[in-house]
Structure 1
Amino acid sequence: MIDSSMQQFTFVAANKLEWREVTAPKIESAGQAIVRPLAVTRCDLDLYVANGTVPMKDKPFAFGHEIAGEVVEIGDDVTRVIPSDKVVVPFQINCGTCEFCQQGYTNACSSVPRFSAYGLAQSSGRDWGGGLSDFVLVPYADAMLVKIPQAVSLPVAASISDNASDGYRTVARPLKERPGSPVLIVGGMAQSVGLFAVQAAVALGASKVTYTDFGSERLAHAKSLGAEAIEVQYGSDTPVTEQFPIVVDASSLREGLIYALRSTQAYGICTGVSAPGRLINGLPVAEMYMKGITYEVSRVHARAKIEAVLDCSQCGKIKHLDVITRILPFSEAQQSITDPDTKIVFVRDEQ
């Protein structure tokens, strides 16, 4: 039985997040489920929201969106999970039946407000709850929830709800189309996504994985994962010494994006994991045109990628735990949420 109230980690203002008592969710329709979060990884974006780098209105909202947990209650029409199942909760809300969901574009589900996600209420205008809570309501349980294989740990499963799947998708399709190609990953502010991309590129057979960054710790981390690590201070005119058929921009910086695009060889593909600024001057559009390169930028379609990434983790092809830098109890979220670690995981204290 779920109590009428629960504890929720709440964004109040930049550098001010606190635990609050709020009304607990209830099942309101037959296709819903309630999940008790057991592990919640800090998304790369969460750090910048929490510390004010990405400004938010000072309007409280539930925090945390990379979730692995336990099903505690289901509606009458739910058939794919039962109470006690351990599940990944994809960070985006998606119905599974609309035209976009049917095509695998779960980021663009048309049944809910645009950009609907856990822990990011200010994007969609609706608070769907957050991972750092006693419970979360899953509105489309059969479409969204994915059972966690026994061989996959809860911290790893939580990361697969967003960042690990994001890193994977940046190289999976390009390497399938161009097997064995060398890959460049332009690292930076999307700290863990860039490193997850390194892991995926190595695992999926890239002949060479090069990782650039301005942060010494991330460079060392990328090298330990199998990349050639090169320090680069990104600028609009930073020299490009080599071009690659597959490039990932995980810098989240204007200058990093320009460097990534200029590093993409003729008819190559550059995938961006974020939009570093609404309008960017200095993009090498003429050069992109002459070389005929493809630039793809979007949020990951998380639900569509989760099972493939879980499979890679289950068989040991990708050791996602090697990207995680610290595991802490939920009770330390308030004092640790803005720590500079690359990838923090919060686990329920009694786990």
Structure 2
Amino acid sequence: MKALCWHGKHDVRLDTVDDPKLLHANDAIIKVTACAICGSDLHLYDGFMPGMESGDVLGHETMGEVIEVGRDVTNLRPGDRVVVPFNISCGECFFCQKGMFSLCDRTNRNADVARKAMGHAPAGLFGYSHMLGGYAGGQAEYLRVPYANVGPIKVPDELTDEQVLFLSDIFPTGYMAAENAQIEPGDTVAIWGCGPVGQFAIQSAWLLGAGRVIAIDNVPERLAMAERHGHAETLNFDEVSIPEMLFEMTDGRGPDRCIDAVGTEAHVDASPDSLLDAAKKAMMLGTDRPHVLREAIMACRKGGTISMPGVYVGFLDKVPMGAFMNKGLTLKTGQTHTHRYLKPLLDMVVQGKVDPTFVITHRAGLEDGPELYKTFRDKKDGCIKVVMKPA
């Protein structure tokens, strides 16, 4: 089959690889009908995520048609259309039973490696390094889905692939980000990053009762989307001081809830901490650029909440923990417990409350993937979200 494979920093190729096969009785094989490039994939593309090996199949936003199931799979049969959550969960361990599916104890095949880096091992992820299980991803013609009784959700025939594909990751991630922000009716919510996750966080903040949403970015197309589809007030950080503007817009109180939808690769601007981050990474003296987290801590109102769906890789420095502690802030973060949100968010799509297709700017085949990784990374050609159809 054809698949997009990682071969090193900024080196993604369309390769011919072996077709996946059933390895366990609870596996399923799907023929991929749609997949997407996620912002988190750029951390692999840019070489920041450890544990990648040349030839690894990329991709964790995937859906398709079931073509084969193992003997223990009882909820799926060939011909079913399914969306596959990006994290792999057993459904039975301590964490899955508590609904914390991204922390599954059983699915990370390289748990010992992850424990050395993180203290504990989170769940396995599709196409996201050998530290997180070494599972082949879904930017391919076919995908093996382990624990198929737990993960994939069947979707109605009347919905298109594009309407449901983002249930695999970015819609639940944006929703959980808003949920983690602990939004109360009428709250002012500031969201850093208007990429796909930020866009769904904006939508979700309104669904959860926000009275005001302020979106922060510097890419005109992203800010325009946040205004047009998210009805958000927008700030361009190239044009204004974000802490000062948030202070002014909230009469000196600060936003009630702040969401960091950027993570490790914050844009390098003229602020001293941002320039220092960039210099440290260039000299291999640091792993992340946590400018947004620092800014959110300083801007958030006293007693407020910071939600952090943005992915961080390693060790952060110059984080103002004194401000965090003395202001009485709460921080909530984590990989998305995707399985928890599949059914309720699918119902929202069916009912017409949310049309996830608004984020799509580019449609292509797998053969266009290597170039679109670069286009997406460089934010060129108005690229906000890429959907690929292997067929």
Normalized against structure 2, the TM-score is what?
A: 0.80
Name the structure 1 match of 2:237. 232
C-alpha contact 2:163 2:357 (8 A) present in aligned 1: yes
Deviation at 1:52, TM superposition (A): 4.3
Written as runs of structure 1 = structure 2, the 5 A alignment for 1:115-194 is: 115-124=123-132, 126-172=133-179, 174=181, 178-187=184-193, 191-194=195-198
Give distance in 1, aligned partners of 2:218 and 2:210.
23
Seen in structure 2, the aligned counterparts of structure 1 residues 27 and 122 have a Cα distance that, compared at 3 Å, is closer
How much has 1:63 moved relative to structure 2?
A: 0.8
Distance 1:87 1:169, change over 3 A: same
What are the Cα deviations for residues 155-193 of structure 1, in whole angstroms up to 9, with x where unaligned?
Answer: 232222111211111113545x623322111116xx211
Q: Deviations over 1:179-236 (max 9, x none)?
A: 3322111116xx2111111111223332111101122221111111211111124999
Give the distance between the partners of 2:17 and 2:313, measured in 1 at CA.
34
Alpha-carbon deviation of 1:266? 2.1
- The residue that corresponds to 2:60 in the other structure is 65
Q: CA RMSD in A?
A: 2.4
Match of 1:11 in 2: 6
User: Which letter maps to 1:286?
Assistant: G
Q: Which residue of structure 1 aligns with residue 44 of structure 2?
A: 49
Match runs of 1:296-315 below 5 Å: 296-315=332-351
Which residue of 2 is the match for residue 201 of structure 1?
Answer: 205
Aligned residue for 1:13, secondary structure, equals: coil
Q: Which moved more, 1:24-33 or 1:221-230?
A: 24-33
Match of 2:259 in 1: 248
- 1:292 Cα deviation from its structure 2 partner: 1.3
- Matched residue, 1:92: 87
* Structure 1 residues 141 and 210: alpha-carbon distance in aligned structure 2, compared to 1, 3 A threshold: same
Distance 2:4 2:226 in 1: 31
What is residue 211 of structure 1 aligned with on the other side?
215
Mapped to 2, the partners of 1:204 and 1:227 lie a distance apart of 15
Aligned to 1:3: none
As a proportion of its length, which structure holds more strand?
1
Q: Distance in 1 between matches of 2:159 and 2:302?
A: 39
Q: Distance in 1 between matches of 2:384 and 2:53?
A: 26
CA offset digits 1:222-272 (Å, max 9, x no partner): 111211111124999953413122211112232211111222222221101
Secondary structure class of the residue paired with 1:167: helix
CA distance in 1, matches of 2:311, 2:14: 31
What is the deviation of 1:136?
Answer: 1.2
Q: Write out aligned runs for 1:241-320 (5 A).
A: 241=247, 242=250, 243-252=254-263, 253=266, 254-276=290-312, 278-320=314-356
1 CA distance for matches of 2:314 and 2:98? Answer: 27
Deviations 1:127-146 (A, max 9, x none): 32111222111111111111
Identity across aligned pairs (percent)? 28
| Alignment check: 8 A CA contact 2:86 2:168 kept | yes
Amino acid in the other structure paired with 1:88: V
Change (3 A) 1:273 1:174: closer
Change (3 A) 1:128 1:251: closer
Distance 2:312 2:199 in 1: 18
State the alpha-carbon separation in 2 of the partners of residues 58 and 82 from structure 1.
Answer: 33
The structural deviation recorded for 1:55 is 7.1
1:145 and 1:279 map into 2 onto residues whose CA distance is 33
The code of the aligned residue for 2:103 comes to A
Letter of the 2:94 counterpart: E
| Cα offset, 1:283, TM superposition | 2.1
- Is contact 1:275-1:297 (8 Å) kept? no
Compute the displacement of 1:120 (Å).
Answer: 1.0
CA distance in structure 2 between the aligned counterparts of 1:152 and 1:322, rounded to whole angstroms = 15
What's the CA shift for 1:279? 2.9
Q: Deviations over 1:251-302 (max 9, x none)?
A: 2232211111222222221101134463333322222222211011211112
Given the superposition, is the C-alpha separation of residues 306 and 235 from structure 1 closer, same or farther in structure 2, using an over 3 Å criterion? farther
Whole-Å separation in 2 of the counterparts to 1:280 and 1:302 = 26
Deviation at 1:54, TM superposition (A): 5.6
CA positional deviation for 1:47: 2.9
**C-alpha separation in 1, matches of 2:52 and 2:125:** 17
Structure 1 residue 104 corresponds to structure 2 residue 99: yes
2:387 is aligned to 345
Q: Distance in 2 between matches of 1:329 and 1:300?
A: 27
Question: Quick one: distance in 2 between partners of 1:8 and 1:86?
Answer: 20
1:246 counterpart letter in structure 2? R
**TM-score w.r.t. structure 1 length?**
0.89
